[in-house]
Each structure stands twice: as C-alpha cells, then as structure tokens.
Structure 1
C-alpha cells in the first residue's frame, strides 16, 4: 500500500458518515461498508491493499475474540474521524456507538506496514481491546489490556503517484492486480495437489487385475481340481508328482505340496476365490474410475476459477478433521461457503443418498432435461442468494457433463421434488439458471 494512495483514500472516505458493517471474511481480509459503499481491506503482510471485489463469495465464518470485539464495538457505528498519521502507512478510523445508557468510542487502526501489518482496536483511552496479530518486538507490545504505543513517523521513500480521479476504477484495479498475483500461484498449487491424487488413482487402476484374466485362472484351477477329483480313488496320499489324463485324453502334470485330496480342495477353493476376485475387480475398477472422473471434474473447476476465494472453496488448505468428514465421502462431495453446505452426488448412489437425507427446505439442483448429478444446498435457515445459486449450478454442470457449452440448471426446494425410482424424480415450482461451461 503506497502512502500517497492511502492519503487520497482517507480523503475519499471522510465523506461517509457511518461504518454500517465490518467483518473479517478471510484470514487477513476484511469487508467494510462505509454507509453503503463496500470495500475490502487485505491485510496480508506481503501484499496489503484496499480494493473492490464484486464477485466475492464468503466461505468461512470467523468467531475469534477479535471478531467479537469487531462486531460489538464497530458495526453500525458513527464515523467520528478518519485520518492517516503523518509519514505512516496507517488508516485510523475513530467511531462512536451509542447504546441505551452509554456511548462507546473506539479506534480502529489498519496498519499497512509490511512485516508488522496489523489491525488493532482500542477504546477511547488507547487501551488495546483486541488485535488481528498479538505481537511483541523491540518497538512495542500488542497485547490486550495494554496502552497502544503509536508507531513513530518514518521516512517514506516512494515514487510520486497520479491523483486518483475515479476511486471505483482504482479499487477494482487494485483487486485485479492483487488477484492476478495470487491466482496463478494458488491455482498451480491446487492443480499439483489434484495431479498427485490422479497419479495415485491411475497407478491403482493399472494394478487392478483384469477380470477376464482372473476368470481364466479360476477355470484352470477348477480344471485341475476336477482331474484330481476324477482320479482320487487311484492316488496314494503320499504321491506328490505324477501325470493324469483329462476327459479328452490329454496328459496333465501335477507337482503338489500336500496330499492329492487336500490339493483337490485347495484347487476348488482357490478357483472360487479367483471368481470372487474377478467380480470385485470390476467393482474396484468402477470405483477408481468414478474417483478419477471426480478429480478430473474438480481439476476443470479449479482451472476455470476466477478468484483465490473460489479456489479455497473448491480445495481448502485445511483438511477437514476425521470427526467432521462426510460420512458418505465415497459417493458425496461437499463444499462449504460460510454457513452454506453444497453437496454433490458423485454417482447414482450419492444422488439417492442426497435425496433421502435432505431436509424439505434444502434446495435441489439438476440439469434441465439431461441426466446429471444431484446437488443439495443446506441453507441453515439463511436466504439463498444469487452467488450461492450460481456456484451450486456451476458445481452441478461441471460434475455432470464434459463438453463445453451453455447449460440450463433447474432448482427448487427439496419439498417440491418427488423421487420415482432410485435417483429419478419429478419436480415442480422450479426456477432455472443458465451456466456457461468453458
């Protein structure tokens, strides 16, 4: 964040009267509404800035003590003053929140200082109420309950910047610069993770024994067992190496580790196991192919993602702990956007599961007039907004069809969907949304 830009932004923000909303929507990302003018403050140490992002989709809820103080002291507060301390990349917002019996004065500091970038909240006396980062260094200590030590002015060396003529355009361009820097790197990292999973799955698929080869082995074992069975009366228990003729008069050589009777049973038992293995081989291959197809679809979504937030929804950094894992993860995949849970069936079994285990007020998505994956959105009593609808519809398309093109997705409340057989349904009172698959 350039100091000269920050001064101009400060002057622009001084015309607003109310901090109508403020919320942390990413680990280092804040969404602020000045009256009704929405901005994002990115407080990442390596690339902090202030920008506009009209396509942002919130995918995480923050409930740390810092977030509680942020909401309690600053949401719907009156802006008393907005300033930038001389020779410091800090935006200071002073607010007043009137309660029934008292007015609370709060100071909010956005410190765009690189290595020690921070967000700090103090009361009217400068006592630290909370901070994004609790730090201790030679200059000062950022701890709750201590008086905030102001940063001393520094000699700022930067090239002159042009006057911001259009703040909307400036804030959008700041997002585009930040997003382009992070998007390629994050996307490549996510794609590498997917490629590793695909490599393992393809290796496992290649190692699955072919069903016809297993059945041929089973036939050979059964054949040898039948020959032993037909000649068992004429064999001694101690015999291990001998030749016998089959029903066609062909000579068959035997070298046994056990007696002929035990060997006969072993041949028949092994033949049975081979037949079972052949049947399971088909199921194993089918299961692996379904997983490969799922990750190929996910890979395509990641390739076409437009923002880092979307990438994080599709493939989160943090893995879900064992006790929170989808209990039917083999055939259902879920994505989380804030308090919304979007689940897609990976196969027919997954589609059936979603139909049987969804609530009447959940929303159901399906391609219009085309067989497709079923998608269920659990709203947790939240209103279904356009962003969630579009994302759910995009999930439905990308996990249903491979070809690029324009597709229509129908959606309605689950109570309007009547299963006929398995995952086949009738539905009414639906709306339709168009999705372009690149």
Structure 2
C-alpha cells in the first residue's frame, strides 16, 4: 500500500476509534476488526497485494482459524481499549497500541500491521516490543530479521525516499471503493474462467452436431448393406472359398459386382451384414432424437453463458455454474434435468420437453412447481417437504424459470404451486389450481 493512504487511514482510525470490540482472522491473510459503534474494517496482509477496506455487508469466515496466532489475537485484543494509533517509525507500518484487561492484570499490547513488501506481516508485541505471536514466523536462516515468539523485534531498514503525498477527500468512501474494485476484478476473473470452460463445452457440442451423419445417408447405407446381404444369401451355392467378388443380377435385372472381402464363411459373413444393416437402420431412427437432444443442450449452454455474462455478483456466478468436485465427473450419473442448489434447496430445471415431462412424472406432491404465466417456458421444480418455501428460494426459482425461458430482459410473471396441484394433460402440458403469481425482473 502507498504511504499517503496508510497515513490517511491512520488519521481516520485515531479520530473514529476508541476500543476494539471484536477481532479475528477470516481468511489466510485477512483479519476483521470491529471498532466501537460497529465500525468494521478489514486488513488484508497478503504479500503480493496488501490492502485495507470496508464493505456494507459483513464477510463470512472461510473456515475456523485456531492457530496460536488466532488464539492470542482474540484473547489479547477483544474488548481492548485503544491507547494510540500511529504510523510507526514514519514507515508503512500501522501500530495499534491497546490496554488489555483480559488477564488478572492490565497490560499494554501492540498490534503491528506491516504493509512493507516482503516483510508484510501481522505481529503481536508487548510494550517492550517482544514478539508474542505473528501471522508469519521467520527464522534466522530465512532473514536477518527474526520473527519468533519471545524475540525482540528488529526494526525494518527504512528506505531513504520522499513519499508521494496525495489528498483523499473522504477516506471512508475510499475504503468502500477498495472492496468494490476487488469484487469487480474477482467477478470479471470468475466470469472469464467459467465462460471459457462453457465456450469449450459449447464448441464440443457444436462439433458433435456437425459430425452427426444425416438420416438419409444412414438409411441409404442400411439399404445398400441389406441388398448386398440378400444377394450373397441368394447365391451362397455359387460362391467358392476365398472368392473376392461376386457378379449377380439384382432385382431390377442389372448386373452388379459385390465385393466379398476374402470371406472364409459366406453364411457367417451374411449374418454380420444383416446385423450391420440393422444397426444403421436403428441409428437412422435415433439420429433425429440425438440431434434434438444436442440442440437442447447447446441452447441451454448458450442461455447459461448469457446469464453468466449478465451476473452481478460472484455468488450468482457460483450458483449458476458451480465448481465441479474432483470426483464428480466419475461418480455423477447423467441427469434428466439441470440442477442448482440454493440455501439448502435443490432446484431442478427442465431445458426441453423430455426433461419437463421427467420432472413432472418424478417430483413429489410436496415439491413446488414453477412456470411462466400464460406462455411456454421451462418447468422448474424445487424439492420440498414443508408447506411453504422461503421467499428467497421462491425468487431464485422464479428467476431461473424466466432466465432460461426468454431471450429478453424485462418483467415476467411466474406461477408457482405445489406439485399436487398440477394435473398432467398430455406430454408437458398441464392444468394447475390453486397457484400464486410472482413478478420477476431480469
């Protein structure tokens, strides 16, 4: 961090903080400090990119940190009175001096936050600057400046330079903006990562679609093989061992030359031809279904990409396209629907008629069903065992229903009711009553 920023933050803290009500580590290099009057500030002491910021909604801890550093940090500084805050040695080091009464006697402690490149660290000191704990311990083999419990902390060599000074009109606004910028960068990075993977999958499906044989070509090939098999079968008595070709008259009276491919057993070879022709015939019957399924998959992936591009938060990106577990591709069976998870609820979406029918036929009476009002849309089912759904889950499911059914932004009405109230007419066409309607903006 820049010197003038740390100086401005130091002055802000001196004017606006009197006690540390709460302190703990919430990420590997980030501590949260709640000063008086719920003034919460985050200190990120990452070596590559240290910063200080505020946010409007409190960040949750990624895991419980119980290292000796965390135990000492919370024990010594929670509910401590701030005696002084300064830029130590006029360098990029914030010293927060407190008086703590957590033990049987009052003691003076220092929380030293070092924003100094390779020395970036959080160090807990007593009033004689002896180290009680540190985020990063450094031994004598790694640096001349040892950071170990019980050792008096050496000073950082101060660089001889004149720091650039800039004025900051409102330091609190600046601290909020720091986090906004972090979130924007992280959001764009996550979007790019997920869209890159999605583009790869889209390209793969497009290539499969292009490589699919035409139905007419498969039927033509099947008929040719059937004709060849029947001609060989009708002339088995004329075929000599290891004969390479057979000249016969076809059903139209034309002389045809049939390649025999050095067959050893004409009867067995003929059976193999009939089986091969049958496979081509079956493939011709199924190719339309396979093509439709691939097109539905492609359409869903493109809609998912559009929704990712329009996502406003990292949470929304992770909801739409979560990271796969390492063993998920091996253990997860193919599903007849798309699935999402939100606040402990499983939300299932049918991206085509086949998937919609599957969801209707396999959902429970207590599940909730969602559909756009008075227009075609995907069907959405929320697994549920209670009478009601939380409003946040209703909104999320209705939003999914709209986002994967329409191509334009706007306000859309979505009907929802429990599955027991939905009567299947034919295919994915239904009648439902009673129901509730909610309006979603996308």
Q: Is TM-score (shorter-chain normalized) higher than 0.5?
A: yes
Where does residue 210 of structure 1 map in the other structure? Answer: 214
Matched, 1:292 2:298: yes
Q: 2:284 aligns with which of 278, 282, 288?
A: 278
Does the C-alpha gap of structure 1 residues 171 and 332 become closer, same or farther in structure 2, counting only changes over 3 Å?
farther
Matched, 1:401 2:401: no
The answer on whether the counterparts of 2:24 and 2:74 sit within 8 Å (CA) in structure 1 is no
Higher relative contact order (CA 8 A, sep 6+): 1
Does the C-alpha gap of structure 1 residues 194 and 162 become closer, same or farther in structure 2, counting only changes over 3 Å?
same
Does the C-alpha gap of structure 1 residues 427 and 152 become closer, same or farther in structure 2, counting only changes over 3 Å?
farther
Matched, 1:9 2:9: yes
Where does residue 378 of structure 2 map in the other structure? Answer: 372
The answer on whether the counterparts of 2:24 and 2:73 sit within 8 Å (CA) in structure 1 is no
Where does residue 172 of structure 1 map in the other structure? Answer: 176
User: How much does 1:333 deviate?
Assistant: 5.3
Where does residue 127 of structure 1 map in the other structure? Answer: 132
The answer on whether the counterparts of 1:79 and 1:93 sit within 8 Å (CA) in structure 2 is no
Where does residue 115 of structure 2 map in the other structure? Answer: 112
CA distance in 2, matches of 1:234, 1:47: 85
Range 79-88 or range 146-155, more displaced: 146-155
CA distance in 1, matches of 2:371, 2:108: 51
Q: 1:89 aligns with which of 93, 113, 116?
A: 93
Question: C-alpha deviations, 1:333-366, integer Å up to 9, x for none?
Answer: 56677x7566543636766569958996x98765
TM score, norm. by length of structure 2 = 0.71
The answer on whether the counterparts of 1:416 and 1:427 sit within 8 Å (CA) in structure 2 is no
CA distance in 1, matches of 2:409, 2:213: 34
CA distance in 1, matches of 2:378, 2:68: 41
TM score, norm. by length of structure 1 = 0.71
Matched, 1:158 2:163: yes
User: How much does 1:216 deviate?
Assistant: 2.0
The unaligned stretches of length 5 or more in structure 1 are: none
SS of 1:80's partner is strand
Question: C-alpha deviations, 1:297-332, integer Å up to 9, x for none?
Answer: 33223322335565556556x651206977346555
Spell out the pairing of 1:332-343 with structure 2 (5 A cutoff). Answer: 340=344, 343=347
Does the C-alpha gap of structure 1 residues 238 and 191 become closer, same or farther in structure 2, counting only changes over 3 Å?
closer
Does the C-alpha gap of structure 1 residues 127 and 162 become closer, same or farther in structure 2, counting only changes over 3 Å?
same
The unaligned stretches of length 5 or more in structure 2 are: none
User: How much does 1:213 deviate?
Assistant: 1.7
SS of 1:221's partner is helix
Which has the larger Rg? 2
The answer on whether the counterparts of 1:377 and 1:392 sit within 8 Å (CA) in structure 2 is no
SS of 2:252's partner is coil
Where does residue 80 of structure 1 map in the other structure? Answer: 81
Where does residue 440 of structure 2 map in the other structure? Answer: 434
